């Protein structure tokens, strides 16, 4: 990172280039350091740590939140990440002294230089082309939507549920070209918002508990991925899937077989009813990942219950919550046996560690 004019609170900051390893983000490296600390779950399985972004409040983006791979357990290992760490997967801002400050794609603190839609720093968007499409038919099981080539940027896949039903039996799925599922494989559905880590690049998944299921990534995709629709309902509702992404002009691309349905612009009458929102409830859990709920009612201009609101625009009435990780057991090595022959005992230390490490 380059030294430049910075905010008044950081007058002497000299940023640095993050020591990336191939295919790993700087934050990922910091979480992996704790793999050697012998954290285990209640069954004694060793936990591996990856960065956690989903559910972390903006004010805590410069803390080292790490999640156990393949699990919901998470922990704050450090109150501050190392200076120069990106604040998140969707931003160029960096963490300095535990605070998120503006930086450009040219690695200059305070710079306004941005990546264009092609992923080129300071570019004008002329080196790539936009790919878009949709899927509105499916059958039971996994249905291919599109294979996104390596190098694609600004990926946005949306699956809008049928008539506002939260579980209409259609769910996005994601797999590698080798057939390994990264999301919703083996007919197992992930309800929670999560980050899908692919060689240092993050794909953000909204979770299936929403009426607008979504997969997004702003950085270049390091390898090709196939997006699918998993249909499991006994009564198959027609899916509403739309996708867009950008690829370099010299990268070949062909869509899946089948014609894409073109959208039609329709002028709709203005509605006099609107969605009225209640306050969010307390989090359902005091530690770990929980849920908050609120009322979302359609009311007319007189405050009476109405059915005239646009259901496709209905705000969410449930969201994940929880900033404080639950304690974990930290186990020490087994001692030698107390006897050289006959019956003896072996012991080991077991400490309950909270998110501060105490």
Q: Do 221 and 278 fall into the same domain?
A: no
For residue 173, pLDDT beyond 60: yes
Report if residue 92 sits inside a domain. Answer: no
**Tokens matching residue 254:** 């062909």
Report if residue 198 sits inside a domain. Answer: yes
Q: Which domain holds residue 157?
A: 128-248
Spatial contact of 149 and 155, defined as CB atoms under 8 Å apart:
no
Phi then psi dihedrals of residue 131, to 5 deg:
-115, 130
Q: Distance from CA of residue 82 to its chain's centroid?
A: 21
Q: Do 223 and 136 fall into the same domain?
A: yes
Report if residue 118 sits inside a domain. Answer: no
- How far apart CA 149 and CA 147 sit, in angstroms, is 6
Q: Do 157 and 235 fall into the same domain?
A: yes
Q: Do 153 and 231 fall into the same domain?
A: yes
Does this model's pTM top 0.85? My answer is no
Burial classification of residue 98, based on how many CB atoms lie within 10 Å of its CB (0-12 exposed, 13-18 middle, 19 or more buried):
middle
Report if residue 335 sits inside a domain. Answer: no
- Which residues have a Cβ under 8 Å from the Cβ of 107 and sit 6 or more positions away? 1, 2, 15, 17
The count of C-alpha atoms lying within 13 angstroms of the C-alpha of 90, restricted to the half-sphere facing its C-beta, is 14
Q: Do 194 and 158 fall into the same domain?
A: yes
Report if residue 204 sits inside a domain. Answer: yes
Report the domain count for the chain.
Answer: 2
Identify which has the larger pLDDT, 272 or 178.
178
* Cα-Cα end-to-end distance for the chain: 34
Report if residue 164 sits inside a domain. Answer: yes
CATH number of the domain bearing residue 191: 2.60.120.830
Q: Do 217 and 153 fall into the same domain?
A: yes
Report if residue 236 sits inside a domain. Answer: yes
pLDDT in tens, 130-151: 999 999 988 888 999 999 999 9
- Chosen domain end from 248, 265, 300: 248
Report if residue 350 sits inside a domain. Answer: no
Burial classification of residue 134, based on how many CB atoms lie within 10 Å of its CB (0-12 exposed, 13-18 middle, 19 or more buried):
middle
Q: pLDDT confidence of 159, banded at 50, 70, 90?
A: very high
Q: Do 138 and 187 fall into the same domain?
A: yes
Q: Do 227 and 317 fall into the same domain?
A: no
Question: What is the mean predicted confidence (pLDDT) over 10-20?
Answer: 39
- How far apart CA 76 and CA 1 sit, in angstroms, is 26
Mean pLDDT of the chain: 81
Q: Do 177 and 224 fall into the same domain?
A: yes
For residue 292, pLDDT beyond 50: yes
Identify which has the larger pLDDT, 270 or 219.
219
Identify which has the larger pLDDT, 301 or 84.
84
- How far apart CA 203 and CA 175 sit, in angstroms, is 12
Q: Do 185 and 221 fall into the same domain?
A: yes
Q: Do 298 and 189 fall into the same domain?
A: no
Q: Do 243 and 132 fall into the same domain?
A: yes
- Chosen domain end from 185, 213, 248: 248
H or E segment to which residue 31 belongs: helix 26-32
Identify which has the larger pLDDT, 206 or 193.
206
pLDDT for the residue numbered 161: 84
């Amino acid at each position: 990172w380059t030294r430049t004019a910075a905010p008044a609170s950081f007058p002497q900051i000299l940023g640095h280039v993050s020591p990336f390893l191939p295919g790993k983000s700087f934050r990922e490296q910091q979480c992996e350091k704790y793999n050697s600390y012998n954290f285990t779950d209640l069954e004694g399985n060793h936990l591996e740590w990856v960065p956690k972004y989903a559910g972390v409040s903006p004010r805590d983006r410069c803390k080292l939140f790490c999640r156990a791979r393949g699990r919901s357990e998470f922990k704050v290992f450090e109150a501050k990440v190392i200076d120069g760490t990106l604040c998140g997967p969707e931003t160029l801002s960096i963490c300095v002294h535990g605070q998120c400050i503006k930086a450009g794609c040219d690695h200059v603190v305070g710079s306004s230089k941005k990546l264009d839609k092609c992923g080129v720093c300071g570019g004008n968007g002329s080196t790539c082309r936009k790919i878009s499409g949709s899927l509105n038919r499916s059958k039971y099981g996994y249905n291919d939507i599109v294979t996104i080539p390596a190098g694609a940027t600004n990926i946005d896949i949306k699956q809008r549920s049928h008539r506002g039903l939260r579980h209409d039996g259609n769910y996005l799925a994601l797999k590698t070209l080798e057939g390994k599922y990264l999301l919703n494989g083996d007919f197992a559905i992930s309800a929670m918002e999560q980050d899908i880590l692919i060689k240092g690049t993050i794909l953000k998944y909204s979770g299936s508990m929403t009426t607008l299921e979504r997969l997004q990534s702003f950085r270049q995709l390091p390898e090709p991925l196939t997006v699918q629709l998993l249909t499991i309902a006994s009564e198959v509702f027609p899916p509403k899937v739309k996708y867009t992404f950008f690829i370099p002009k010299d990268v070949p691309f062909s869509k899946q077989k089948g014609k894409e349905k073109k959208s039609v612009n329709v002028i709709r009458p203005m509605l006099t009813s609107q969605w009225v929102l209640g306050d969010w409830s307390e989090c359902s859990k005091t530690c770990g990942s929980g849920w908050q709920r609120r009322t979302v009612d359609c009311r007319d201009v007189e405050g009476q219950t109405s059915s005239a609101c646009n259901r496709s625009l209905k705000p969410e009435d449930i969201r994940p919550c929880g900033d404080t990780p639950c304690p974990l057991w930290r186990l020490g090595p087994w001692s030698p046996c107390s006897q050289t022959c006959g019956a003896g005992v072996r012991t080991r230390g077991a400490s309950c560690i909270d998110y501060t490490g105490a």
